[in-house]
Structure 1
């Protein structure tokens, strides 16, 4: 019977990437479910978030900042694609494309505002596992009417 060799470093790299992907999926799920305390827990204490329409640094006030930013939309759906992650010890970088659909009312789901673009991510591994330490959002397209004016 042939001997099987397991490269422990490669295996750890795959496990780390999987944990980071799960973190990104939770980030989107918590935004869409309006669970902003859980959403804020996806970030490090010293997080830096930069978006075309707003920025935030640190955990203090992060939950409220997220809630206020999306409170105008009754329904949102965030989707990721082309997720790229590079792990280097307890630090990782990444990039992903996104599509976000937003509507102000469940009563009329035909009226919505959509946007797409890319996220650039940085992650840190700490006592609580992987967390987002930096998020840069680049919106490259929009469609529909953004009644909130948040998109700029």
Structure 2
């Protein structure tokens, strides 16, 4: 930790965890307008996949920017699915000069009809304190593993 790093108290940590949990609740509840509340107006959403994952290149890169843009892009990707369920595991927080960096384990289940596509990975988020509380200013989803048919999510 640097001398100029933000100080994070128990209240900050609880609020950051609430943003992380609220994101997956909004995602799985198909409340994409509420999902936007997790991000800043200048946020960036980036996807990366391990090189061995077939089709991962199709989803790698900047998916969307801005709170509304992210909500629309995620909504367009998830709306065709019949169900999703995202589980968050360990959450690490590290104060930075700009705010807080978090790493959160995630397992995501995606279902359409009888098809499924399950993934596991890590959200690496850069949180900043705003007038509305802590918000994600940059999210990188790194997918480590998958199982099932990527076409379930890709629309194939």
Query: Is the TM-score greater than 0.5?
Result: yes
**Residues 1:25 and 2:29 are matched in the alignment:** no
CA change 1:25–1:17 in 2 (3 A) is same
For residue 51 of structure 2, what is the aligned residue in structure 1?
Answer: none
Task: Specify every segment of 5 or more residues in structure 2 that has no aligned partner in the other structure, as ranges.
Answer: 1-6, 49-58
Q: Distance in 2 between matches of 1:17 and 1:66?
A: 25
Q: Alignment partner for residue 57 of structure 1, among 62, 65, 71?
A: 65
Once structures 1 and 2 are overlaid, which stretch shifts more, 51-60 or 115-124? 51-60
For residue 151 of structure 2, what is the aligned residue in structure 1?
Answer: 147
Q: Distance in 1 between matches of 2:64 and 2:9?
A: 30
**Residues 1:68 and 2:76 are matched in the alignment:** yes
TM-score, normalised with respect to structure 1:
0.81
Once structures 1 and 2 are overlaid, which stretch shifts more, 14-23 or 60-69? 60-69
Count of aligned positions: 138
SS at match of 1:41: helix
Higher Rg of the two aligned structures: 1
**Residues 1:131 and 2:131 are matched in the alignment:** no
Task: Compare relative contact order (CA 8 Å, sep 6+) and give the higher one, 1 or 2.
Answer: 2
Once structures 1 and 2 are overlaid, which stretch shifts more, 59-68 or 13-22? 59-68
Q: Distance in 2 between matches of 1:34 and 1:24?
A: 16
Deviation at 1:131, TM superposition (A): 0.7
Task: Specify every segment of 5 or more residues in structure 1 that has no aligned partner in the other structure, as ranges.
Answer: 1-9
Once structures 1 and 2 are overlaid, which stretch shifts more, 63-72 or 73-82? 63-72
4+ residue segments displaced more than 6 Å: none
For residue 45 of structure 1, what is the aligned residue in structure 2?
Answer: 41
Q: Alignment partner for residue 125 of structure 2, among 121, 139, 145?
A: 121
